[in-house]
Amino acid sequence: MPPLHSNIFNHSLNYFGLIIGLSSALFISACSTSSDTVATDNENGDLQLAITDAEEDFLSYQIELDAITLKRIDGATVNILPLSSEIDFVQYQELSELFAVLSVPKGTYSSITLSLDYSDADIVIQDEAGLSYQASAVNALGEALAEVEVELTLNDNEFIHISPRKAAQLTLDLDLAASNTIESFDPAIVTVEPFMIGTTELDENREHRVRGLLETVIEDEQSIRLNIHPMRHKQGKFGAFTFEVNDDTHYEINGIEFTGSAGLNAMTTLTADTPVIAFGQANKETSQNYLAHQVHVGSSVPWAGSDVLKGIITQRSGNDITIEGAVLELEDQAGHFRQTVEMQVSENSTVTGYRLGDADITNLSIGQKVLAFGDFDGDSNTFNAEESNIRIKVNQVVGEVIQTSPLQLALSYINKRPVEVFNFNGTGVSDVEDAKPESYEIATSDLDLSTIEATEWLQVRGYPSAFGSAPLDFEALSIINPDFSSHAAKLHVRWTSDSTNNVNITNEALVLNPETGQSKLHLKGIPSANVLNLSIETVKGNAEQGRYSILTQGSGIDIYVEFSSFVSALNAKLSNSLEVVHLTATGIFSESRHDLEASNITVRLATPIIAIPTIATPTTNTAESELTDTVISQ
């Protein structure tokens, strides 16, 4: 199968650099037909656009998305982005944002271009100790990054066919894991080379979010229709969208919680243009709709009139609460990162989002993720939520099992932040009984612990116990016990510019040279997997089609659907004096085989920089030859 080919360029300069960090995806769904007919002026199809992302190396990655341009096979282009938008990709770690449903001229489209602007980028990185740094974005030459375009030319088997009659999907991955290298922390510098790949399918297992203004509620059909307004946009035409609900859908309407038909009935009493946010997944039975499991309405919507604060509680003294990794959304502005913000609460603060629906400010304990409404004072760096609503979210703790009855963990991370940043003073009924990260006690209710043993690593989802009530320290909703014989993982490997024989191909598998490179393995749900002494010797493709990409210095990106085609192309390039200098791969890790069966592989190739000793030409005053090192650069 021929490769997909992607060109990446700066407005003034082709540039290529080392790649690492964060990954993000863009989903487009359109009505389609297999015809290659060019559009007429009055024939349009609908296009759905969503944005998503993930990784824990970045605390903020906010850049300007200026345009998304589709190019038709006849050369015509259409910009499908109604308004330029500041997007913090870190805020899309666990969901996709439905950005727009647009009317697009009928026809067959062969390429997509994203126009990105890093001029005012807000990039914050964290080291392994949890310290954060405001980073500068540069290209491979060390020059400050400004406007960048990322272009993907689609394989003819994956063209976008727009028609009013039939649905089709396209997922674009702006792969920030393969686009960023954290060069240093002090000064904080990130080398950026945006990298996009694509596939004509939709991830039905991922959560999606749609935001907008209420248009209509169709109670007998259990559906709600919105005029879409993403990213706190209150202007612009982003199209309309209808999603489905059922008897299990949870609602929070103006700070009051409902379930099922009671919530839908309450929705019928609301006026048009009431703010709404719905969270859900693609409905497999009807490809154009989504089934929402949670709906926030009215004053429960972040951009409904209040300032908004998002973050994790790391310290509390009375009603004064410290929020770390804070994201502030003020009025109509996009979110902006702050390392810490002091939040003030009172007995008049309402707390929602708890699984039993019965929460108050005591549930605002250490490690709790919050989304708070209120008023921010920039001069004092304080957020007043004393008369407002605070929504708590499900949390994730990761640690090593100390004992199983009761379950105790030696914590490593809370919500992907190192445990060292948390202060547990005040969590216990007395100072002696404050939560201790080295022996963190988990209330497990009726969860099965029979297969759990000491020294194992666990990921536990749930809520910290009410502030001042420990022990126990945490209420578990679910427990994931990683099976290292078969576990979802992501691998990053980086080699020095002068190393050789970094990757060899044997029996259609990539054999990695551990002596010349540095690797980091992330196991899903275990952010600290690199301390588990796990190793990978080989990377291979899975039996089904995947996305396998080769970035060759000076030649753009080739993307393959079949692993055999990828291996053949890579082998040819390695035989042409090129070396793999960076590799990322996601798939299933096996501890016993020390391998990764990957559905997604990205490699960057370059000519190695080799130091060759040469003999200096002697002069008449030189009694003997002198040896010098000459660096042969690419």
What span, in angstroms and rounded, lies between the C-alpha atoms of 472 and 433? 9
DSSP letter assigned to residue 495: E
Q: Of 447, 478, 509, which residue constitutes the final position of a domain? A: 478
Indicate whether 17 and 77 sit together in one domain: yes
- Whether residue 36 lies inside any domain: the answer is yes
- Give pLDDT, residue 173: 65
Range scoring the smallest mean pLDDT among 56-60, 368-372, 462-466, 585-589: 56-60
The 3-state DSSP class for residue 222 equals coil
Is the pLDDT at 403 greater than 80? The verdict is: yes
- Give pLDDT, residue 26: 39
- Give pLDDT, residue 426: 96
The band of 43, judged by pLDDT with boundaries at 50, 70 and 90, is low
C-beta neighbour count of 233 within 10 angstroms: 19
- Give pLDDT, residue 56: 52
Number of domains in the chain: 5
Is the pLDDT at 436 greater than 90? The verdict is: yes
* Pairwise pLDDT comparison (488 vs 26), residue with the higher score: 488
* Pairwise pLDDT comparison (432 vs 109), residue with the higher score: 432
Contacts of 154 (CB under 8 A, 6+ apart): 4, 109, 110, 111, 112, 160, 198
- Give pLDDT, residue 241: 84
Indicate whether 119 and 248 sit together in one domain: no
Q: Of 265, 300, 335, which residue constitutes the final position of a domain? A: 300
- Give pLDDT, residue 20: 16
Is the pLDDT at 106 greater than 50? The verdict is: yes
In terms of average pLDDT, the best of 461-475, 504-518, 617-631 is 461-475
- Give pLDDT, residue 379: 92
CATH of the domain at 222: 2.40.50.320
Q: What is the mean pLDDT of residues 166-186?
A: 70
- Whether residue 162 lies inside any domain: the answer is yes
Indicate whether 402 and 456 sit together in one domain: yes
Indicate whether 290 and 318 sit together in one domain: no
Q: Of 445, 478, 511, which residue constitutes the final position of a domain? A: 478
- Whether residue 614 lies inside any domain: the answer is no
Q: What is the mean pLDDT of residues 283-291?
A: 61
Indicate whether 289 and 326 sit together in one domain: no
In terms of average pLDDT, the best of 203-207, 217-221, 523-527 is 217-221
In terms of average pLDDT, the best of 80-94, 351-365, 528-542 is 351-365
In terms of average pLDDT, the best of 40-44, 164-168, 182-186 is 182-186
Q: What is the mean pLDDT of residues 374-379?
A: 92
Indicate whether 185 and 37 sit together in one domain: yes
Range scoring the smallest mean pLDDT among 176-190, 246-260, 416-430, 606-620: 606-620
Q: Measured between alpha carbons, how far is residue 622 from residues 424, 616, 617, 618, 627 in Å? A: 71, 10, 9, 6, 12
**Whole-number CA gyration radius for the chain:** 26
Residue in 169, 161, 163, 166 with CA at minimum distance from that of residue 199: 169
Range scoring the smallest mean pLDDT among 165-169, 229-233, 486-490, 583-587: 165-169
The string of pLDDT tens digits covering residues 115-131 is 889 998 888 887 777 77
- Give pLDDT, residue 204: 64
Range scoring the smallest mean pLDDT among 2-16, 97-111, 239-253, 324-338: 2-16
The 3-state DSSP class for residue 317 equals strand
Q: Measured between alpha carbons, how far is residue 452 from residues 124, 400, 401, 590, 605 in Å? A: 37, 11, 8, 19, 43
Q: What is the mean pLDDT of residues 86-93?
A: 70
- Give pLDDT, residue 488: 82
Range scoring the smallest mean pLDDT among 58-67, 308-317, 328-337, 418-427: 328-337
DSSP letter assigned to residue 261: H
- Give pLDDT, residue 618: 46
The band of 561, judged by pLDDT with boundaries at 50, 70 and 90, is confident
Mean of all residue pLDDT scores within the chain: 78
Indicate whether 36 and 146 sit together in one domain: yes
Indicate whether 367 and 469 sit together in one domain: no
User: Hey, what long-range contacts does 543-548 have (CB within 8 A, 24 or more apart)?
Assistant: 544/599, 546/598, 546/599, 546/600, 546/601, 547/173, 547/197, 547/199, 547/599, 547/600, 547/601, 548/600, 548/601
In percent, the amount of the chain with pLDDT more than 90 equals 29
- Whether residue 142 lies inside any domain: the answer is yes
CATH of the domain at 319: 2.40.50
Is the pLDDT at 532 greater than 60? The verdict is: no
Indicate whether 267 and 312 sit together in one domain: no
- Give pLDDT, residue 112: 82
Indicate whether 110 and 174 sit together in one domain: yes
What span, in angstroms and rounded, lies between the C-alpha atoms of 474 and 121? 37
* Domain boundaries, position 552: 487-608
- Give pLDDT, residue 48: 39
- Strands 474-480 and 440-443, by their bridges, are parallel
- Whether residue 618 lies inside any domain: the answer is no
Q: Are 562 and 545 in contact (CB under 8 A)?
A: yes
Residue in 145, 92, 148 with CA at minimum distance from that of residue 120: 145
Indicate whether 403 and 462 sit together in one domain: yes
* Pairwise pLDDT comparison (562 vs 630), residue with the higher score: 562
Indicate whether 56 and 189 sit together in one domain: yes
- Give pLDDT, residue 494: 81
Helix (H) or strand (E) holding 124: strand 107-126
The string of pLDDT tens digits covering residues 334-366 is 667 888 999 999 999 999 988 777 899 999 999
The band of 284, judged by pLDDT with boundaries at 50, 70 and 90, is low
- Whether residue 620 lies inside any domain: the answer is no
The string of pLDDT tens digits covering residues 19-28 is 111 223 334 4
Q: What is the mean pLDDT of residues 407-424?
A: 92
The band of 600, judged by pLDDT with boundaries at 50, 70 and 90, is confident
- Whether residue 79 lies inside any domain: the answer is yes
Is the pLDDT at 47 greater than 60? The verdict is: no
pTM: predicted TM-score of the whole model, two decimal places: 0.69
Range scoring the smallest mean pLDDT among 149-153, 551-555, 561-565: 551-555
**What does the block give as tokens for 408?**
């105790």
Amino acid at 394: V
- Give pLDDT, residue 323: 95
Residue in 596, 482, 604, 485 with CA at minimum distance from that of residue 542: 596
- Whether residue 625 lies inside any domain: the answer is no
